[in-house]
Amino acid sequence: MEPRSSFPHPSSRPSLGKRHQVNNGGDGDDDDAHNVEYSFAIEYSGPPVGYDIPRAVPIAVDEIPVAAPVASSSLLKDSSLPVIQPIKKSTPVGRKPSREPKLSSESSISSSSLTGSGASSTGPNMSRVVPTQVDSNGASGRLTGNYCKVKSSEGRRSSGRLKSLDSQCNSCESLDCVIGVESTPKLSGLIGASGKLERPDCHDNMHLSVELPDDNRGEADVGFQDYMNPGNSESTGSGSSSHAVSSEAFSSKEEDLNEEETPCHAKRPSVVTFRDPDPSDVVLEESEYSEVESNQARPQAERPGKKGSCYRCLKGNRFIEKEVCIVCGAKYCFNCLLRAMGSMPEGRKCVTCIGFSIDDAKRGTLGKASRMLRRLLTEMEVKHIMGSEISCPANQLPPERVSVNGEALSGEKLHILQSCPNPPKKLNPGHYWYDRVSGFWGKVGQKPCQIISPQLNVGGQIDRKASNGNTDILINNREITKKELLMLKLARVPCEGKPHFWLSADGSYQEEGMKQIKGHIWSNSTIKLVCALLSLPTPPDSVDSGGDELNGANRSYPEHKALCKFLLLGDTKSGTSTIYKQAKLLFNVPFSEDERQNIKVMIQSNLYRYIGIVLEGREQFEEECMIERRKKLVIDQPGPSGQMDEKTLYSISPQLKAFSDWLLKVMASGNLEVIFPAATREYAPFVEELSKDAAFQATYLRRNELDMLPSVATYFLERAVEISRTTYEPSDLDILYAEGITSSHGLSCMEFLFPKPPHQSSIESEYQNYDSSLRHQLIRVHPRNLGENCKWLEMFEDVDIVLFCVSLTDYDEFFEDKNGVLTNKMLASRQLFEKIITHPTFKDKTFLLLLNKFDMLEEKLEQSPLTKCEWFRDFNPVISHNYHNGSRRNNNAPRAQYAFHYIALQFKRLFNSLTDHKLFVSLVTGLEQETVDEALRYAREILNWDEEQCNYTNNESSYDFEASSSS
Ligand SMILES: Nc1nc2c(ncn2[C@@H]2O[C@H](COP(=O)(O)OP(=O)(O)OP(=O)(O)O)[C@@H](O)[C@H]2O)c(=O)[nH]1
Ligand SMILES: [Mg+2]
């Protein structure tokens, strides 16, 4: 029956307007739907009244403003029309909205699919105007002003950073969108059905509200389908929200909402600001919460302020220490942390992120408290929070998201995997392969990354192509990768004929069908170094044993930190091992006991070699003396009667002569290294005697004439007695100067972290954290180990930067090849440089040229001009005499500086002509620690620039993408 007149309830009358349902503002606890009261008009049959009766005007249904569906194509053409996404009315159970959103108009949002109990659908093509207050009921209750966005692919729930779903853009294209006829431009907040503010990115300031069912995934799907199909609105039940929140917790800046000020498709994203969370805003119902939230998409923080600023107060910079939310990645400063994360019942999560599963990339940091947290809270509190972080259900790895050999794990299998003696590190959701026999473990399609405990009853049969190998060689039924094959070859495992091996967990291997064990791959000490270089795993229990050349490569730095690889290369005697050793001392990478023992033996045998060279020189000088004497005698006393004194300045006692003969014989046979350390005890007294011997000292004074004696020999010969003793322990400097320490295999590898910079008062520790956030690996390789045409360079394909070392003093030095041809060493270095920079493996690699031995350059230039090298023929610097003198006083060595710049330029030109890239150059004196430190830091900086440039480009493109998607 159509009412002829209506008398609204007095309490609701002033605000009735176009409302279709009325909240009488009742007493608080009643459900919204039950609060609605209607007054019906009845026909007046009493006595005539003497005053004007208010008249209800009959409503023409046809004239009620309605929303009509609009095809997306037409919407896109006429972008000035505000688009309203359907709103689902949430009917809270037994709860009244805590606060109403502040709206400047009540009839502002239309929906095509009114699904709440208080608003019945008006048919497939009609939308009805709903008071927006319904939304506040559905508000999910943890708004705190944190900035998170929901991933577009699963964007059903918006949280924190109330950004519209990326998928809206798509949905607008694929659906009929609805134009709210009475949309109001001045909303003080854009509120999604979940009670959260939605910032419609793709429509910018168009007032969007997306239906985000809260109850459970099944219903969410229904709701979402309804959203996709507005005509089907009847079928959706009333959405109930598990949480309540006040919409006052947020407000959007008016400028973003004013259509006139902000063009509809403006690329500038709306700015949303939040007030501080009020504890009363946050109402959680724990029971519903975990099952609802754990199924939800993980929010992702979007940086609200400038780079490096706190996500809450928007202050600070990247140098300010911050704590990161393990869910959305939002970063908070010391002052904001507790306000943003509250009591941290699930560890370091924004209050809005509680209940969400964590970012898998941050799994490695679970339970590892930061310094900031320790400063902020007591030890007990930190312990408690970290305990919760590790143990709370929301942070656990979902077993079904881990598959091993094609089988998704059950909870029990995951437990087996995680609780075995040597579990996989960094286990994240994903597909893995597992070789049960050997314990090899890796990601599907990739080489092994770890050797875990063998024989675990986890996963199905391993697939031949599990690691995407293409070598035709099988290990335990898996076709191995190229790198593994390289490793086997270097371990001297015969791989001809494409064999199939059985490899057991202890490293013993046999060919398929054979009973006999052919060998043991881990018994070869070089293999561990090779594995470190190739980023292949080694068995956990052999990590620390006998890694003579590993030099700390296996030091257990935090696994979750990325590894940055520097490859140090250079021609013979360019100084690579000196730089490598310097880096070891610099970064405090200790030598193991074994290594120290080997170094001691090496230094002592070097000492005997130097002594041998001096003794050889003594013989030569003695002989020269004798010849001189004979000549003189012939002149002075011609005839047979002349008697010649056999003793010269260079003559030694018979005992020392015997020692000298023995030493020179051993050296000639090439067995000097073999007789140590046994020789030390026996021959140390001779060294002492020699050092006091006048002939030996006289020879030593003429050491410059001994071509074979390296300049470092002086350093050791002056302490010959001390070094020859059995009690000798090499100092750091001894190690630095010692020859041959890193070249036994020609391959050395160490891992290090850059030390933290000195503490600066205003610059806090993010920079310091940054320093330690990256592990570095320095690999040094001798060119002779690169094989013919540098074919083994392939092994180093994943290095981040190549440090190519050239000795500045090589320009006037020559070496003789086996055909007797003399080659300038600088030109030989250039040739190697060319080979390496043009090698296909190093295409597009970053190169840093280390011009070494600068300390010797000035002195050398005085004796020998740079133009001695044909490549430097046009070096002709104009050096002011005054400047020259002045700078010499200041030890600035201008000629050496000029020469350095000139040589650097020659290399840069060459590099650019061959690669079209830029060559970086650093000046080094390998024996001086600071210069090596500077060079390595420079290498790190170069990589940071590269990365920043890359990030910048990525950011740019993602901005462009977002921007273009909004137009
Ligand atoms: N004066 C001076 N001598 C250096 C410098 N760097 C290295 N040397 C010396 O030069 C010689 C060769 O240096 P190494 O570091 O052994 O050279 P390398 O590149 O390892 O060459 P190989 O020994 O052939 O592997 C050693 O005697 C070093 O002590 C430097 O900056 N200044
Ligand atoms: Mg060397």
Kindly provide the ipTM of the predicted complex, given to two decimals.
Answer: 0.99
Residue nearest to atom 2 of ligand 1 (CA): 853
Q: Which residue has the tokens 């003696």?
A: 421
- 854: its two tokens: 């600068």
Ligand 1 pocket test: pick from 567, 569, 571, 577 the residue with the most ligand atoms within 8 Å of its Cβ. 577
Place of tokens 């050296």: 667
What's residue 463's pLDDT?
Answer: 93
Q: Share the mean pLDDT of the chain.
A: 70
- Cβ–Cβ under 8 Å, residues 714 and 553: no
CA atoms within 13 A on the CB side of 461: 4
Q: How far are the Cα atoms of 59, 126, 181 from residue 62, in angstroms, in the given order?
A: 9, 12, 14
Q: Which residue has the higher pLDDT, 911 or 236?
A: 911
List C-alpha distances in Å: 819 to 572, 784, 785, 815.
Answer: 19, 18, 22, 11
Q: What is the atom index within ligand 1 of the atom nearest the CA of 579?
A: 15
> Each residue of 161-201: pLDDT tens digit?
333 333 333 333 332 332 233 333 333 333 333 333 333 33
Q: Give nearest CA residue, ligand 1 atom 27.
A: 712
Residues 734 and 729: their CA atoms lie apart, in Å, by 9
Of 17 and 732, more confident: 732
Domains of the chain: 1-64 (no CATH), 67-292 (no CATH), 301-395 (no CATH), 399-543 (no CATH), 567-592+744-758+766-952 (3.40.50.300), 596-737 (1.10.400.10)
Q: What is the pLDDT of residue 751?
A: 87
> Which tens digits make up the pLDDT trace of 106-150?
333 333 333 333 333 333 333 333 333 333 333 333 333 333 333
Distance (Å, whole) CA 23 – CA 106: 12
Gap between the Cα atoms of 37 and 39, Å rounded:
7
Question: What ligand 1 atom has the least distance to the C-alpha of 805?
Answer: 19
Least confident stretch, 12-26, 277-291, 472-486, 560-574: 277-291
Residue 81 confidence class, pLDDT cut points 50, 70, 90 = very low
Beta bridge partners of 855: none
Q: Give, for ligand 1, the residue of 574, 578, 929 to mutate: max count of ligand atoms closer than 8 Å to Cβ.
A: 578
What residues does ligand 1 touch, defined as CB less than 6 Å away?
570, 572-578, 710, 712, 737, 739, 743, 782, 852-853, 855-856, 925-927
| pLDDT-above-70 percentage for the chain | 60
Helix (H, G, I), strand (E, B) or coil at 442: strand
CA distance 388 to 397: 14
Q: What average pLDDT does range 391-412 have in this prediction? A: 90
Q: Quick one: pLDDT band at residue 918, thresholds 50, 70, 90?
A: very high
Does the pLDDT at position 26 exceed 70?
no
pLDDT over 90 for what percent of the chain? 33
pLDDT tens per residue, range 461-475: 999 999 999 899 999
Helices (DSSP H) in 148-293: which residue ranges?
A: 167-174, 217-228, 254-257, 286-293
Distance of CA 460 to the CA centre of its chain: 32
Encoded amino acid at 517, one letter: I
Ligand closest to 852 (CA) is: 1
Average pLDDT score over residue span 914-932: 95
For the segment 695-719, the average pLDDT, to the nearest whole number, is: 93
The predicted pLDDT at position 327 comes to 92
Distance CA 187, CA 197 (A): 11
SS3 content of the chain, % helix, strand, coil (to 5): 40, 15, 50
pLDDT of the residue at 47 = 66
**CB 261, CB 960: distance < 8 Å:** no
Lowest mean pLDDT among 64-78, 240-254, 337-351, 691-705: 240-254
The tokens for 68 are 């009509």
Query: pTM for this one?
Result: 0.53
How does DSSP assign 762-775, residue by residue? SS-THHHHHHHTEE
To the nearest 10°, the Cα dihedral for 535, 536, 538, 540?
A: 70
pLDDT in tens, 861-879: 999 999 999 999 999 887 6
pLDDT at 147: 37
Question: What angle separates helix 929-965 from helix 576-586, to the nearest 10 degrees?
Answer: 80
Tens-place pLDDT, residues 542-592: 433 333 333 344 444 445 457 899 999 999 999 999 999 999 999 888 887
Residue 820 to residues 814, 816, 823, Cα–Cα distance (Å): 11, 5, 9
Rounded to the nearest whole angstrom, what is the distance from the C-alpha of residue 582 to the centroid of ligand 2?
Answer: 12
Decide if pLDDT at 538 tops 50: yes
Q: What distance in angstroms lies between residue 855's CA and the mean position of ligand 1's atoms?
A: 12
Q: What is the pLDDT of residue 189?
A: 33
